[in-house]
């Protein structure tokens, strides 16, 4: 089961193309002309003993660090709970290439393909391009600064403006 209805998640659709292969389509960044270069989603109800292939098919950049050794980030809820291991780089058979899907403006989309073997049945595993840092993470950090007795005299937070979603941009 694929899901991205959480803070900073951006998966629009998952389409099963073969028994253990999925084409993934990302939601473009808000208020851009269709920018899609990062991803953040989770897979739950996992099964072991199979190699799954994920194809993110609507990326934009003509080249990627994935072709030079970079690997997707992974976070397993089970592994975090039992061993304390958090986000780490993983996956296999990673390839980034131009595909045959034509863009509305000009050129073609690119695909990031990778395989993954789930190590625990019914786990929830997150996949991301970069380490997630959400608006909630930022607010939590700013509150810690304000409450730190050694730092609070040098910190002042005021609303500078509101985002499109109505969140307050804060300035320190």
Q: Examine the domain organization and report whether 64 and 143 are in the same domain.
A: no
Q: How many separate domains does the chain show?
A: 2
Q: Examine the domain organization and report whether 124 and 139 are in the same domain.
A: no
pLDDT one-digit tens code per residue, 117-165: 999 999 999 999 999 999 899 889 989 999 999 998 888 888 888 877 7
Q: Examine the domain organization and report whether 109 and 60 are in the same domain.
A: yes
pLDDT at 152: 86
Q: Examine the domain organization and report whether 73 and 156 are in the same domain.
A: no
Q: Examine the domain organization and report whether 69 and 114 are in the same domain.
A: yes
What is the percent of the chain where pLDDT is above 70? Answer: 98
* pLDDT, mean of residues 85-110: 95
pLDDT at 170: 55
Across the strands, what pairs with 110? 59, 98
Q: Examine the domain organization and report whether 110 and 147 are in the same domain.
A: no
Q: Which CATH number do you get for residue 36?
A: 2.60.40.3120
Q: Examine the domain organization and report whether 11 and 32 are in the same domain.
A: yes
Domain that holds residue 94: 2-128
Q: Examine the domain organization and report whether 57 and 86 are in the same domain.
A: yes
Q: What is the pTM of this model?
A: 0.90
pLDDT one-digit tens code per residue, 36-83: 889 999 999 999 999 999 999 999 999 999 999 999 999 999 999 999
Q: Examine the domain organization and report whether 117 and 142 are in the same domain.
A: no
* pLDDT, mean of residues 9-22: 97
């Amino acid at each position: 089961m694929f899901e991205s209805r959480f803070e900073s998640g951006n998966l629009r659709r998952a389409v099963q193309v073969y028994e253990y292969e999925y084409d993934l389509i990302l939601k473009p960044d808000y208020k851009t002309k269709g920018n899609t270069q990062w991803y953040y989603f989770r897979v739950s109800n996992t099964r072991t003993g199979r190699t799954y292939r994920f194809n993110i098919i609507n990326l934009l950049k003509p080249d990627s660090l994935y072709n030079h050794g970079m690997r997707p980030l992974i976070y397993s809820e089970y592994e975090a709970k039992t061993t304390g291991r958090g986000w780490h780089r993983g996956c296999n058979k990673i390839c980034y290439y131009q595909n045959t899907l034509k863009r509305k403006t000009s050129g073609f989309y690119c695909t990031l393909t990778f395989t993954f073997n789930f190590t625990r049945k019914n786990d929830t595993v997150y996949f991301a391009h970069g380490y997630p840092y959400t608006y909630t993470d930022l607010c939590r950090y700013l509150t810690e600064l304000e409450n730190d007795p050694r730092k609070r005299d040098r910190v002042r937070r005021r609303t500078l403006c509101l985002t499109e979603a109505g969140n307050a941009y804060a300035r320190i």
